[in-house]
Structure 1
């Protein structure tokens, strides 16, 4: 039998990998810059103006501030870790399988508990803005990760079926 490499069926189901394409896209790089920029601006705020603002808060509000800043930094660490793993895949420093293993260690959590609107209203505006931005970013990344890890559709691929038929006929002739 003559071997026709173009007729070989790929190991995967033939679906275009969303993950492989996304991590190399301009959209991913924008997301990466936004996420890492948010990490940096949050660190600057918490180490600078945030420290001064929290010191001026009443005791009961400073406890809410401490809790929310801890939740914020945890959320941002998860986001940064996810972004860095995806960038490593895009740059060929890590395989998709290694990335899956790493992402299983650090999952983008569902939105954590949020302060009540009355509690949030007592927090400094800048902290509220950073929390809101981080939650929007977390939700976007969570949706992207869901798309990246979703099982490929099991719908029949008509071209794949035709290739399989052709290969079977060639095998019978050979």
Structure 2
């Protein structure tokens, strides 16, 4: 194969092909594979106690379940700890086919108006998608955002901000 090439070119090609099979390429692959299999780092602890929603008697919807789901800062991911709340609302909605629901997304006071309206909408839609996954007809659920317009707590502490990052369930 290398008969017609000058010796120097053949030597360079041979060395190049040999280099492809060395352990340095293998170790890079192993490092890459290892990096993909590493567990995700634990989330940073904020030092703020999470807000726990309690049932609100006298409201439509499941009586034994909170009508608020809270979110982390700058997030629209439903917390795993709030899944039982969503399951209870989904169960109630499936057993009351004539009822509809408005999910009201809220944010804390930080950030611009447009950004917070979009984040509140994403939070409400995240809860709506979770309810749909649990068997609720999405046509019965409306997701709206109030952004930072309707604060539950006007304080400026981290605890106050946490109480404002929420989605409220309003049955109609």
Interval containing the TM-score (normalised by the shorter chain)? under 0.3
Q: TM-score, normalised by structure 2?
A: 0.21
Q: TM-score, normalised by structure 1?
A: 0.21
Which is richer in strand? 2
Greater relative contact order (CA < 8 Å, ≥ 6 in sequence): 1
Which is richer in helix? 1
